[in-house]
Amino acid sequence: MSQIVLPIRLLTFSTLFPHAARPNHGIFVENRLRHLLASQAATSLVLAPVPWFPSRSNRFGDWALNARAPQQETRHGIDIRHPRYPVLPKAGMSIAPWLLYQAVLPVIRRLLAAGHCFDLIDAHYVYPDGVAAAWLGKRLGLPVVITARGTDVNLIPRYAMPRRLIQDAIRKASALVAVSAALKQVLVELGAPDDKVTVLRNGVETSLFRPPADRAAARAKLGLTRPALISVGGLIERKGHHRTIEAMRQLAEFELLIAGEGPERERLAALIERHGLADRVRLLGPRPHASLPGLYGAADASVLASSREGWANVLLESMACGTPVVASDIWGNPEVVRAPEAGVIYQPNTPDAIAAGVRRLFASPPDRMATRGYAEGLSWDETTAGQLALFHRVLGR
């Protein structure tokens, strides 16, 4: 008689998860989970804590957006809870995991008392989330799998106390996931045994991100009249939009669209004005995730000038729309851009090198359908299978 394998019951835990007021925040975590649940081999309840803040006024920016997060919501059929936890700006980095743990432990206990059952904790982002998850797992007798995604291991461990807490979480976790081989190497350098870390890259929604049916119409809708570059990502310093804007001074025949929002907006707008680029560089503001295929599809190339990434989904999204990329030579990017039809990697990460990378790509541009075909080989299917195998191994099934 064949053995019946019951679905794995996950408690997905991450502060990096979308909610109604910030629908694009950490959407790659949600996307990975959606595809896993579609296999019907796992179920999940999501705990996605948000920082407590007393005001919803627009003048407080992201803090106010967090205040607007619902206590509970359903997205794509997934039950999501958003408990609040205290955050001490700037001074509170070292105690952030403890504050998160103390806020969430009573919530999980209420869920268990109400009849919810979990086989393991699936935590995303090593610090503070993974550290708090390791403590929760020990307290509740649940195995913990932690996924490293970028800044959580390539920047935060530079600080002494977070580094020690991260190393403790590495020891306590039953398994670790890295979204790129480069991040796995960092985890190993932090003390993780090589066989404890599994590389499971992010994938791309090839059904959503696809070439436009009428590319000329997509370009006309955006008012594009020149070869166009697109840069998608939050307007924060590490995304390097300022470098791409500087590069546009050498790319007079191109125009640039920047989609995203963040604290650097005024600085970037001033930079555009100072260099007289307002007729060729546009800040589009935040765009719904579902509208991005139209932007990628209308552009001739995507530029990613980041200084840090784990596995940049924007590269896959662009390629799935048939649009090749010009990406900085940082951790993760060379693992995404591995063939001429995908685009080019440039170095060093300077405006001059960005401009040279764009010219190199356009000197011999790949066929757009070949770029799309490359992205089709990077769907979520392989990642879903890898997650299930890892979870079964952790649970001894």
Q: Show pLDDT as tens, one digit a residue, over the chain (397 residues).
A: 456 678 999 999 999 999 999 988 888 899 999 999 999 999 999 999 999 988 888 888 778 888 999 999 999 999 999 999 998 876 678 899 999 999 999 999 999 999 999 999 999 999 999 999 999 999 999 999 999 998 888 889 999 999 999 999 999 999 999 999 989 999 999 999 999 999 999 999 899 999 999 999 999 999 999 999 999 999 999 999 999 999 999 999 999 999 999 899 999 999 999 999 999 999 999 998 889 999 999 999 999 999 988 788 899 999 999 999 999 998 789 999 999 999 999 999 999 999 999 999 999 999 999 999 999 999 899 999 999 999 999 999 7
DSSP symbol at 396: T
Q: Provide the strand spans (E) within 334-376.
A: 343-346
Query: Are residues 314 and 387 both part of a single domain?
Result: no
**Is 208 inside any structural domain?**
no
The pair of structure tokens assigned to 200 is: 């499971």
Helix (H) or strand (E) holding 334: helix 333-336
Query: Are residues 343 and 355 both part of a single domain?
Result: yes
| Residue 328 CB partners (closer than 8 Å, separation 6+) | 240, 304, 305, 306, 307, 345, 346, 347, 349
The whole-angstrom distance between residue 114's C-alpha and the CA centroid of its chain comes to 32
Q: CA–CA distance from 234 to each of 21, 26, 121, 259 (Å)?
A: 16, 11, 29, 8
**Is 235 inside any structural domain?**
yes
Query: Are residues 348 and 268 both part of a single domain?
Result: yes
Residue 84's DSSP bridge partners are 50
Q: CA–CA distance from 301 to each of 268, 297, 332, 365 (Å)?
A: 20, 9, 19, 9
**Is 210 inside any structural domain?**
no
**Is 1 inside any structural domain?**
no
Query: Are residues 165 and 222 both part of a single domain?
Result: no
CATH number of the domain that residue 390 is part of: 3.40.50.2000
Query: Are residues 258 and 305 both part of a single domain?
Result: yes
**Is 3 inside any structural domain?**
no
**Is 2 inside any structural domain?**
no
Query: Are residues 240 and 333 both part of a single domain?
Result: yes
Query: Are residues 151 and 18 both part of a single domain?
Result: yes
The pair of structure tokens assigned to 89 is: 């700006």
For the chain, the domain total comes to 2
Query: Are residues 388 and 361 both part of a single domain?
Result: no
pLDDT of residue 62: 79
Query: Are residues 68 and 100 both part of a single domain?
Result: yes
pLDDT of residue 363: 97
Task: Using CB atoms within 10 Å of the CB of residue 348, give its burial: 0 to 12 exposed, 13 to 18 middle, 19+ buried.
Answer: exposed
The pair of structure tokens assigned to 129 is: 């989330």
Query: Are residues 37 and 179 both part of a single domain?
Result: yes
**For the chain, counts of helices (H) and of strands (E):** 16, 16
**Is 29 inside any structural domain?**
yes
Cβ atoms 306, 145 nearer than 8 A: no
Range of the domain at 63: 8-203+380-395
**Is 148 inside any structural domain?**
yes
Query: Are residues 276 and 188 both part of a single domain?
Result: no
Model pTM score? 0.85
Query: Are residues 223 and 370 both part of a single domain?
Result: yes
pLDDT of residue 122: 98
pLDDT of residue 88: 81
